[in-house]
Each structure stands twice: as C-alpha cells, then as structure tokens.
Structure 1
Amino acid sequence: MASIQSPHHRKRGALHPLALAAATLCALASGAGHAQEEPARITISGRASAAQAVGVSGFGDVPLWRLPISATVIRTDQLADAAITGLGDLTRLDAGATDAYNAPGYWNQLAVRGFTLDNRFNYRRDGLPINAETVIGLDNKQALELLKGASGLQAGTSAPGGLLNLTVKRPKVAQRSAMLGWQQDGTLGAAIDIGDRAGAQGELGWRINASASRLDPSTHNAQGHRWLWAAAGDLRLSGGTLIEAELELSRQSQPSTPGFSLLGDRLPSADSIDPRLNLNRQPWSLPVVMDGRIGSVRISQPLSADVQLVAHGMRQRLDSDDRIAFPFGCSAAEDYSRYCADGSFDLYDFRSENERRTSDAFDLSLQGRAATGSLQHQFNLGLLFTRYATRLGRQAYNWVGVGSIYQDEALDPDPSLTDDSTNRRERTVELHLQDSLTLSDTLTAWAGLRHSRLHRESRYTHPDDPRPTAYAQSLSTPWLGLSRQLGTGSSAYLSWGQGMESEVVPNRARYANAGQALPALKSRQLEAGYKSSSRSLDWRVAAFDIRRPVWSDLLAATGVPVDGCSSSAPCRRAADGAARHQGLEAEAEWRSGPWALRGSAMALHARREGSADSQANGKQPTNVPALSLKAQAAWQVPALPALALLGFITHEGRRQVLPKEQIATPGWTRIDLGARYSQRLGAGTSLVWRAGVDNLANRRAWKEAPFQYGHAYLYPLAPRTFHASAHLNF
C-alpha cells in the first residue's frame, strides 16, 4: 500500500456430527487404465509432526514436542492435497490462523491468535526477515512454519500474533517432477521441479523450479497471469564447509477485488450478494502488478564437532503497480465507514505506480552444543543486520462518481496525481541469544534475549512539504521457558515472553505531538501447554494470555479518544489501554490403518480494556472470531489402495463488523472434498492425480469483516469451485 491514506485495502454455529461424516466422502478419480497401482501415502494437510524441528524457533534441531512453544509445520505437498496455492488459504488448515483482509488479486494478510501479522515484520524466509507486501509463490517452498504467540525473541519488532517462516527447496538427488492443474472457471497452471547432485561425492547440487499460470477465477473481471522461476545450488567443500545460494524471480498481474460493506445501518444478507461480483469493474480498471526478486547466500562452517559458524545474507526487491477502481464510503449520507443504504457508494480512481520496496538482511551466528559442568547447553548466538526502504511516488486518489453494488455504470477515469505518499527507511542491528539448558533427564530450562537497535526515518513525497521524521530506539525482548518430559514423547511446559512494536506520530498539523517517537509497544505473553506424541496419536493443548498496549488519538484539550481530529481541534497520540487476548488451543492427529484424522480448535476471548473511551472497553475486536474449528480427514480405500479420499471442514464463529456498534456477521461452516490417486508407471516413475471441490454445499456467508482506515468491509465465501491436477514424478 502506498501509504496509510491509500484506499486499496488488502484481502479475499457449531459443527454438526453429520458434517464430519460428510467430510470423509469425496468424488472418485477416474481409473488408471493398465498402469500399476501405487499405494497412496496418507498425508494430512496442516500436520506438524511432533518429531520435526521448527527452524524459526531458533533452538536448532530440537523436535517440536519438546519445545515450549506452539507451532505448526505445513509441507507444500500437503498444500497440494488441499489445492492451496496462496498464503491466504492457510486459514483452512489451522484454527489459530484466520483471515485478516485477504483481497483476491492482492497480497495476503493473516491473523494469528486474533492479532494481524505485520507484512513488513512478521514474515521470514529461511529464518531471515522479508517484506510480505507482495504475492508470495509457493512453488519453490518446501514447508511453511507458523510460530504462534509473541515473537520478540525471534523477530525483535513484530506484531504479537506469531511468525510465518518460508523454507526454500534445496538440491537433492534425482529430483524430477512436473505438474498440470486446472481450477474453475478457467485457471490453468503448469510447474516443473528438477534437480540433482553431481561430483564423485555428490558435492555439487542444483535445483530449478518454474511455474506459470493463467488466472481466470470464478470472480468476474479478475483475469490475470502469474509466473515464478527459482534456482538453488549448494557446494560441499572439505572441512565440512557448506555454501548454499538461491535466487527467485516472480510476477503476478491481476485486477484486485474490493470488499462489500454495510448498507447504511444494515448488514446485507450474504444470500443476496453474488460472491462472484467484482466492484472493480470499470472499463479503465487496471491490474495490480507485483514483481519480486530475491536471492540469498548461506555459508556454514564447522568449528568443532559441536559448534558451527553460519553466515547468511539475503536481498529482496519488490516492484509494484497498485491500481483499482475503489468503492469507499457514502458521501450522500456523510458517512465514510460504509456504503449507502440503497447500495450506492463513492468510487475513486486510485493509482500508485512504480512502487519499490527493498530489504537487506545479514545474520552471523554461532550455533551448537556445550557443557558447563554437568549442565548441557544448546545455543544460538548471533548478530542480525537489516535495512529496509520504501520508495513511492505521487499517486492518484480521485473521486470519479457514484457506483452501485446492484448495477454497472461506466464512469470517467481521473488518473491525475493529486495525492502524496510516505517514503520510509530503516536500519536495525539485533543481538540475539537463545539457550536450552538441560537441568536433568526430564527438566529443561529455555532462555533467550534479543536486543534491537533501530533507526527509522520517513519523508512525505510532496516537494514543498516533506514533513520528515527520524528517531532511534533500543529495545530488548526477553523470553523464558521451562519444560518437563513426562514420558516418551510427551512434555508439559510454561513460557513467558515479550514482543515489541515501534512507531512515530505522523508529522501532521492535526497532532500536538507530531513527529515524536512513541515509547515502544511492549506486548507480553504467558503460555502453558502439554504435548504428546506416539505412533498413532499426536496431540497438544495450550492456554495463552497476550496483553498488547494500544495507542489512540486523544483530544489534546480533554484527553478523550476521537475517531478524527484537525488542526483546529488537535489531538495527541498516546497510550490508551490494551488489547487482551486469552485463549485455548487444541490440536490432535490420529492415524490407524487406512484412516488419518486431524483437528484443531481455538476458543478466543479477545477484548479491549483500560481505554479512556468507555464504549470501547469490553468489546470484541472487529474481524476476530471467538471460535475457530478446522478438521481434515484422509481414508485410503482398502479395496483400491492407490486411492485416498480427503475431506476438509472449516468453521468460524461470528465476527464484529464495527468497533463499538453491535453488528456481527453470523458464523459459518464450509466443507471441501477431494481425492488422490497414485499410479506407478514404471521404475522410478509415478503419476498422482488429484481432484476436488471446495465449498461443496455452495454456502453463502461473509467470510471476514475487516475494519480498516475507518471503513467496514465484508468479503464473501468463494462459491463452489472444482479443481483437478496431475503430478508426474520421473
């Protein structure tokens, strides 16, 4: 988004037992002719194996069941079973993650434990920070690691919900695969993944991923295209030195889809709205274009049998053209928080072209094991240097007339560059230390500290009124944990940690403290949990309590919170209570014979407290469901072992639409079905067919209700959608 004033915002009941039964059914794939059948491997989308390590945790190769944190690891082959091609659809697989402004055709936003992840600070790629203000391709990703809760130890400044880390595919022996896919209405995609190792000892490895898609979704006026090309290589030298390098280029061009809204004081029925309708449908509507280039080099050098030095650097450049015919507010009623009661809205021609975002990161760390007396340590000590810059230009944000959700009316465009943006620069140095201390055979203490020294500055693009700001801060985010192993594969834990966010008051005349740096927002989390892992059953439960301070605009004269202020009635941005999110998460996976079942649930009590505005206290935040349930099932057909039938259930409770008024969208349940059929075509060659249908019952509902920049939005569930793919390994 070009600036906070930019109008283009980003986005896309209880379960009944019969719904769970229905989820185990699916449409059968066609027969395989005379090819040999290969037993289907049963996988569950979203499963985090308890034996897996979670690299983003920073504690090395410790298995997940031992770590005093909550996390989920999702492999991209599991995403294929669920026909997931973008980060926004991860909300189908884990109850802790929900939608937070997922507009089709734009970059994705996620909320974890009710807090929206910051696309600038809450995303990682092989552990290094990246900017996620772009479409992120998954074709060259091996797994997605979702860390839940306060992430100050892993990220320094970040929103308190968690972190999403993308791990890149690396070279392996004789990797050759190709994929063709189709999705209703006419989306077609192809991808290839090839690689191998060479040399007498396999010391040189390479891997190439490439994909291209024609985008033609069920949403009207949303055709586009997308491609990705990526290469990864490594070199193993004498002395254990490992050099890894990778490069990724990507592009997506597609018109985005704005949200619906309240109609006056009324929540429109989702049954009355066509979910395929795109309000960005003017003859002059242009696609959002996002180009990405990113590359990294990592060198690992063993210093002894137990310690290694790792140097890891990355550079990312994003270029984008952000354009939309944007519906916003109702000037006829002088209410810009919603559309007019008759379905009309003000329409703006928004264009912010030639946006550029660059990110650089370099981490130098010492990792390994050591002993002090009878105590065993597993540690990670390092320095992280990051640099971030946003370069924008003047933008168009011009009123062009009145549109309607009920009928098309062609309006004249106005691409005049009449609005300004804000350019930003940031430099950060972070010292991080993590240590797990084995106190006994069953008791482990965990500790960590990240100290961040940051310098941020901004400058308005108006040549005569730059309104510059600049400030520096030093922030420390400690973390502590204690875990006890209670048996083979089970542990109980308690952890406490902090998170940090930093901001400056906008340098505008309407603020009495304009341009001043605010004290860092220091969030705190307390979590207690239990994990158990066995051959047939993995399960965990965690209770958490997160408190995050809130800054509000308060009238300078009275200290009363206001929704807006002006130079004649200036306000101060200051501390105003906190957001308190308390919840219980549970996850279980059971495997027996031909069956594999997985379910996750989150009950969340999220409220505002301590605000000077009594109407805000005790209110459920907007767009945050109090209950979220996700379930997946796989059944390998005994009579046809090559065939696996798949089912997915997503249920979310109601969401508040406005911060203070009691208007809420009803809860909803969606059922998706699929099938996977595996064939062995010859020695070393196999073919995997997948087919499925999303939103089987063609359910109409408001999927999410984000409230951003003073405006309420509504996004519908996508209609029933069929998809199919073929994956060849050769």
Structure 2
Amino acid sequence: MPAPRFFLRPTVAASLLALHALTALAQTPPAEPASSGTLSTVTVEASADASAEGLTKPFAGGQVARGGRVGILGNQDMMDSPFSSTSYTHELIQNQQARSVADVLQNDPSVRVARGFGNFQESYFIRGFVVNSDDIAYNGLYGLLPRQYISSELFERVEVLRGASAFLNGATPTGGGIGGNINLLPKRAPNEPLTQVSLGTASGSQSYVSTDIARRFGPDQSVGIRLNAAHRDGGTGVNAEQVKLDVASVGFDWRSRNARISADIGHQEHRLSRTRPNVTLGAGVTRVPSAPDNQLNYAQPWTYSNERDTFGSVRGEYDITDNVTAWIAGGARKSHEGNSLAGLTVTNNLGAGNMSRFENQRQDNTRTAEAGVRGKFTTGPVNHTVVASYSYYQLKEKNAYKWDFFNNLKSNLYAPIGYPIPAYTASAFRGNDMDNPALLTQTRLSSLAIGDTLSFMDDRAQLTLGVRRQKLESTDFAYDSGKPTTYEKSRTSPMVGFVFKLQPQVSLYANYIEGLSKGDTAPTVSTSGAVRNAGTQLSPYVSKQKEIGIKYDGGRIGGGLAFFTTDKPRALINSAGYYVAEGKDRHQGLELTAFGEATKGLRVMGGITFLDAKQRATGDASTDGRRVIGIAKTQGTLGLEWDVPGVRGLSLDARAVSTGPSYADAANTLRVPGWTRFDIGARYLTEVAGKLVTVRARIDNLTNRNYWASVGGYPNNGYLVLGAPRTVTVSASVDF
C-alpha cells in the first residue's frame, strides 16, 4: 500500500500541526525564555535509548564523540577500546549541512567516497576496502536503511569503526566490512523540548524544507518521541540533473529503572533524473582522459533512478541484576528500486564512446534480529565483562532487467550527444518479468558470539578475547528458469584486543581480528579454456588484520596513530585449470587522526592516511605486486572551525580534502591524477522575536576544480566518477 502523500511531502504547516499535538500532550513546563542579552542554544543531544549508557559524550569542540559502539562490546570510551574509531555528532552534521552519509564521511581521513557499479549507490573505501551502503548498520542491525542513499534526517551520529569486524558485528550482507564498518545512530528526544524548522536552497535552484520536533512525557520524563521530516527538490550544479527527496521518521523511547525500549519507523523516497553516470574505460583507452568540465552532463535525457524504502526497528534492554543485562532487537525493511540507465564507456583517448540502454526493477524484503546478555563479575584481582549474543539476517531480493548491450548510442565525454529513448532490439538481454520481478537471491546470515574483557592493574590493562561462529547461507535463482544454486558454509572467527594505559591521557592498543565474506563459485570457462572444477563453491574468504596504535586524550585535543596490515584472499584459475582461493591483496597503512578544540573558539578535525595496497600472487605477472585499483598511497582531510572574536554568534569553517594518484586497472597502466578540494562555510546565530535563528552558508569545491573524485567501488573495476562542481548551499533554522 503506498504511503499517503502528506507523509511524503512534509511542510511547515504540517510540522506546526504536529507541534500543537505534542505540546498538548507533553507534561513538561516550558523552558524559561532567554534574556534579551543572551543567545540561547538548543541541545539536540539524545539522552535516552535502549541502553543504560545512552550516547557517549561529545569531545571538546562537539564535532566528534568520546567513543561509540564497538559491536557486541557495546559503547566504549575511545581510550578503552582496542580499535580505531570516530563518531561524528549531530552538531557537525547539521553545521556542515550534510545531506547524506557520504557528506559526513568527507571529514574522515581513512574514508573515501565512491559509487556503486552501474548505479548511483553511495559506497565507501575504508582503509582501501569497499563498504557498500547495503552493509551499513542502524543502531547495530544490518540491512534496515535504504541501500543506495541514506538521508541525514534519519540519523543522529555516524560511527566509523576502522578495520575488520567479523567478531564484533558478524559478516556483512554483501561481504564488505573488511576495512571497516559504519553504524548510524537513530535520533532520540533530548531532555529539553525541541521544535526546529529549516528552509534552504542550493546550486541548481534546489529547495529544501525540514522539521525536527521532540518532546518527553510523564512526570519523570520517561517517554520520548522525536519526529523528523524533510523535502528536497530541484536541480544540482550539474546541467539538467534533478534530485527529489521525501523522508520522514519517528523515534520513540521509554525507560524505567531496570528496563529500556526504543523503536523507529521511517520512509524515504529518493528520485534521480538524468544523473550523470559513471565512466568506464574501454579496451581502446591507453591513458586516462582528463576530467571534463564538472558541470557537463553526459547522461541520456530519459535516464532515472527511483528508490522507495520503508523500515522499522525495535530494541529492548533489561537489567536482570545490577551486574547482568539482557537485550533483544529486531527490524525489517521493504524497498523498491526502478532504474533506466546508460553508462558511458570511453573507447579511445579522445573521449569518444558509446552508451546502451539498461533497465531493472528490484524489490527487497529484509528481516534482522539480535539477542544477547552482558554480565560483570570478579575473579581475584581481575574484573570480567562477558558478553554473548545471537544474530540473524535474511534478505529476499527480487529482480528483473533488460539490457540492449549491442545497440550502441555514440557519444563523447567532452561533447555528449542526447538521443530519444531507443526501443529495445531483438538482441537485447532480458531476465525475468519487469512488471513482476522474480526471486533472484535469498541470503541468510546467522551467528553466535561470546567474548570476555578482562581488566586488571586497577583497569590500566584490558584484554579482550572473543569468538564468533558464523553461518553463511544463500540461494541464487537463475533468471527466467528459477533454477536454484545453494551456498552454505560456516566459519569461526576469533579476536584478541589489548589496551594498556601508560597514563590517563595515553593508551597503547593492539588487536588481531578477521573479516569474513562468502567465497566465490567457480566459473564454467575462462580465457584459457574450461574450468576443471566449474560450479565448485569456495570456502568463505577470511581476511586477517593486525593492528597496533596509540591514543591521546589531552582534554581539549585528542587523536590517535594506528599501524595496520590486512590480508584479503583472492581467487584465480591455477596452472592446472582449477578455480582456487590463492593470492591476496595486502593493505598496509599508517593513520593519524586529530580532533578537538585547539584553543577556545578554534576547533580542529582531520588527519592523514598512508596506504600501501598491493596485489600479491595473482597468477598473472602483469599484476603481481601492482597497486589495487582505485587506492591512493596518501589521502588526508583537515577541517578548521573558528568563532570570530568580536562578532557574537558568527563562526567560519574551512576544509581541505586531498587524495593522491591511483590506478584504474590492475596492471597499473591507467594512472588517475590525484586531487585536492577546498570547502568553506559560515554560521551565524542570532535571536529574532525571542526565537533562536541559525543561518548557515557553505561552498563545496570552492575553486570549482575538475577532477575524477573516485576510481572503482566494485571489485576489479576501475570506472571513474566525476567530481561535483562548485556547490553553494544556504539554509536557515528557527527554534520555536
């Protein structure tokens, strides 16, 4: 049943109506009005969730938090965790006018934003390994949020856990999570009433309206409700490109002395029209073409991508005793995607190329659940925190497609040619019924995990040991015939982590942890002939990570230095003609991160990553020892935010994002130039008629640089994505 249109198109009037209803129900006395000489601020920090700790506190400067969720180990302070992580706060998200997860992660020196293969899905390189949006967790559960684009109205914080995480989180739905995990935290009602309306505009005549309303109820404020809604519509800085977004969500929480419950329900519709596609380099290309004008659009006029998602989740936690807590969580998502696409394949060094029409329909139904128990006890001088959990994930994907591969439309990277939508020819590839997509894949992941954190020497030293038994099951159904092929394998993944506090301000840490993903199925033929074990299913790929590091908490400034090495298995056809798991990609790197408030009114955040990602024992002399596609040796980010002295309420910010050269092919013959992008912003807080008003302005890609923003994002593919042009965004928020 389609959602009502008033649900999809929130307006200021609808928001005020919701405010009136909430105000009538709330039993909270109104906040004291601000004095005429003081600018009041609204704390949008969540205070209650289905966990005793709630959110970790913000670090000095408010842009990142002191810690975050570390899988089944729960929330941990950054100085107590044997892993590298960063949690970006709602304050940062709002002040930078971030529209999605990708906008937030531009701040992370270990992350680079990419795009899915042949579509517009946001994907991310973390430590050089791809994490798809499918593999993002929502309050610890996979598969609940939209899989292509996640609007910032749906989350309070973005938590990045760097490194493999099979023990901490279990295997991800698509086998990512080798270089890191992303967890989004839902919004909760803060302690103080919140009513905020925002209006904005951006390059391309794009308009924006959103509301954020929250109240707590009851004499003890034990019940909270938070409503978020937004509508975005209009063009972008790219010629003829159009974006339309409708999103709404409701978050609920309740707490008592021994029990806590939270729940969320949300709906998002994201519609793209004539969005600029990826660029694939064909066999005739011997060098990477220079990036064209960043406003140029080589999309065909009839292309589009529409996504509609509805999701819900619930989480409960109960204190059985003072030292034993049990929890249970579950959620579901139903989504539909429809696309009409035409990617550009460049066939020579002058930018000439071709495009072909491709359409598909996809429907997803996801169910996920988790249950666990956490307890504390002491044996002699050692304190123990033991955790055990069971998790389950199921995805049913329906799909159908048409692809007119041989009906090429001639175009050019620098002088695009638009065509009327072509009719499909008899030679077009087809799979299933576009009007009634059939089941294509059914995936089930289940696991049982147990861990123990041992603390000794007055908690200066902590040793965490853990193991997870994971079962990977999937059934692929052939297009049209529905013939099934089943995969069912299990694997036990260990973990060990150690933290030692040299001083209260300095922690040393080390870890060994593995990543887990489904093994491939041997193909029928290869370039050298028939494969002798065609159809054989390889055991799960086990990635192995070793990491050591140091963390610093100076009160106002914090940061960390991490050295890691991760080996990811590869598959190849060996000299005897068998398809086997041999060779590996080895990613070795050094990460430096820093954040906080350097002096009063000057906030800093950023870092640099040095990464050596090489292919090893590939079975091909042309690729052995070569760099992995799309991975730069050096990348970094530096952001500064400054409260202007003498101008009360005015803050300025600037950010530089830099990425070194990379390669678009496994043999490293196609070198893609590096790039540096500069962004600036301003924020002004004032009071109008007793209401707090915040005006924000931002310019991304200040110098309007033409550059290839990413290379690849799908294994063994080096397609290019052109960076966005200079984009100006202006918004105003009013707190009633």
Q: TM-score normalised by the shorter chain: which range applies? A: 0.7 to 0.9
In structure 2, the partner of 1:5 is: none
**Counterpart pick for 2:486 among 457, 464, 470:** 470
> What is the CA-CA distance between 1:191 and the residue it aligns to?
0.9
For the structure 1 residues 729 and 56, does the alpha-carbon distance in structure 2 shift closer, same or farther, using more than 3 Å as the test? Answer: farther
Q: Deviations over 1:638-664 (max 9, x none)?
A: 111311110000111001111114221
Contact kept, 8 Å, 1:505 with 1:513, in 2: the verdict is no
Shift of 1:136: 1.1
For 1:341 and 1:288, the matched residues in 2 are separated by 29
Contact 1:394–1:461 (8 Å) recurs in 2: no
State TM-score, norm by structure 2: 0.85
2:709 to 687, 703, 708: 703
d(CA) in 1 for partners of 2:660, 2:107? 16
* Equivalent pair of 1:367/1:381 in contact (CA under 8 Å): yes
| Structure 1 letter corresponding to 2:236 | P
2:489 is the alignment partner of 1:489: no
Deviation of the 1:606 alpha carbon: 0.8
| Of 652, 665, 669, the match for 1:662 | 669
Give 3-state SS (helix, strand or coil) of 1:640's partner. Answer: coil
Aligned residue in 1 for 2:236: 217
Q: What's the counterpart of residue 161 of structure 1?
A: 179
1:359 is matched by which residue type in structure 2? T
What one-letter code is carried by the residue in structure 1 that aligns with 2:694? V
Note closer, same or farther for the CA distance 1:296–1:378 as it changes in structure 2 (3 Å cut). Answer: same
Aligned-pair CA distance for 1:223: 1.0
1:95 counterpart letter in structure 2: P
Distance change >3 Å, CA 545–CA 456, structure 1 → 2: same
Which residue of structure 2 lines up, in the alignment, with residue 127 of structure 1? 140
Q: Distance in 2 between matches of 1:429 and 1:261?
A: 37
State the Cα deviation string for residues 472-524 of structure 1 (Å, max 9, x = none).
11111111011111112320011111111113416756654333220111110
Alignment match, 1:691: 697
Displacement of 1:133 after TM fit? Answer: 2.8
Letter in 2 for 1:257: R
Are 1:95 and 2:109 matched, yes or no? yes
Letter in 2 for 1:345: G
CA distance in 2, matches of 1:217, 1:103: 22
Q: Identify the residue that residue 234 of structure 1 maps to in structure 2.
A: 253
Contact 1:53 1:60 in 2 (8 A): no
1:410 Cα deviation (Å)?
Answer: 1.9
The whole-number CA distance in structure 1 between the counterparts of 2:198 and 2:531 is: 55
Aligned to 1:77: 91
> Do the aligned partners of residues 40 and 628 (structure 1) sit closer, same or farther apart at CA in structure 2, a change above 3 Å counting?
farther
Q: Does 1:351 align with 2:388?
A: no
C-alpha offsets along residues 158-186 of structure 1, whole Å, 9 cap, x if unaligned? 43111100100022341211211211021
Matched with 1:333 is none
CA distance in 1, matches of 2:117, 2:472: 32
1:82 alignment partner AA: Q
More deviation, 482-491/100-109: 100-109
Q: Which residue of 2 aligns with 1:548?
A: 568
1:412 is displaced (CA, Å) by 4.9
Counterpart residue number, 2:188 = 170
1:201-246 Cα deviation digits (max 9, x unpaired): 2232211111110031111232131111101112335x62222221
User: Residues 68 and 87 of structure 2 are in contact (CA less than 8 Å); yes or no, is this contact kept in structure 1?
Assistant: yes
Structure 1 equivalent of residue 455 of structure 2: 438
Question: How far apart in 2 are the matches of 1:485 and 1:709?
Answer: 39
Shift of 1:305: 1.3
| Native 8 Å contact 1:468 1:507 kept in 2 | no
C-alpha change, 1:653 and 1:195, in structure 2 (3 Å) is same
Aligned to 2:49: none
Q: 1:426 aligns with which of 425, 440, 443?
A: 443
Deviating more after overlay: 54-63 vs 297-306: 54-63
Match of 1:431, SS? strand
Residue 172 of structure 1 aligns to a residue whose secondary structure is coil
Q: Relative CO higher for 1 or 2, CA cutoff 8 Å, sep ≥ 6?
A: 1
Tell me if the contact between 2:465 and 2:496 (Cα under 8 Å) persists in the aligned partners: yes
3-state SS of paired residue (1:270): coil
- Structure 2, unmatched stretches of 5+, are 1-34, 43-57, 433-438
Shift of 1:128: 0.8
**TM alignment of 1:706-717, pairs within 5 A:** 706=712, 712-717=718-723
Indicate the residue corresponding to 1:9 in structure 2. none
Instruction: Specify the alignment match of 1:448 in structure 2.
Output: 466
TM, length-normalised to structure 1: 0.86
1:36 CA drift (Å)? 5.7
2:269 equivalent to 1:251: yes
Alignment correspondent of 2:337 = 320
Residue of structure 2 equivalent to 1:523? 543
Q: Which position in structure 2 is the counterpart of 1:302?
A: 319
Shift of 1:340: 3.0
Work out whether 1:625 is the aligned partner of 2:646: no
Deviation at residue 59 of structure 1 after TM alignment: 2.2
| Count of residue pairs the alignment pairs up | 663
Looking at structure 1, the residues matched to 581 and 61 of structure 2 have their Cα atoms a distance apart, in angstroms, of 41
Supply the distance in 1 between the matched residues of 2:261 and 2:610 (Cα, whole angstroms).
Answer: 45
Aligned alpha-carbon RMSD (Å): 2.6
CA contact (8 A) 2:564 2:589 kept: yes
Aligned residues of 1:347 and 1:403 also touching (Cα < 8 A): yes
* Structure 1 residues 155 and 46: CA distance shift in structure 2, 3 A: farther
2:276 partner amino acid: T
Q: Percent identity?
A: 21
What is the distance in 2 between the residues matched to 1:729 and 1:476?
51
- Supply the AA of the counterpart residue of 1:436: T
Residue number in structure 2 paired with 1:24: none
- The reply on whether 1:585 has 2:591 as its aligned counterpart is yes
Partner Cα distance (1:348, 1:269) in 2: 21
Aligned position for 1:339: 347
Cα gap change, 1:476 to 1:178, in 2 (>3 Å): same
CA distance in 1 between partners of 2:155 and 2:714 (Å):
31
List alignment gaps of at least 5 residues for structure 1. 1-33, 329-337, 560-570
Write the distance in 2 (CA, Å) between the matches of 1:67 and 1:656: 35
CA contact (8 A) 1:36 1:681 kept: no
- Structure 2 counterpart of 1:477, one-letter code: S
Is the 8 Å Cα contact of residues 130 and 714 (structure 2) preserved in structure 1? no
The corresponding residue for 1:7 is none
CA shift, 1:443, in A, is 1.1
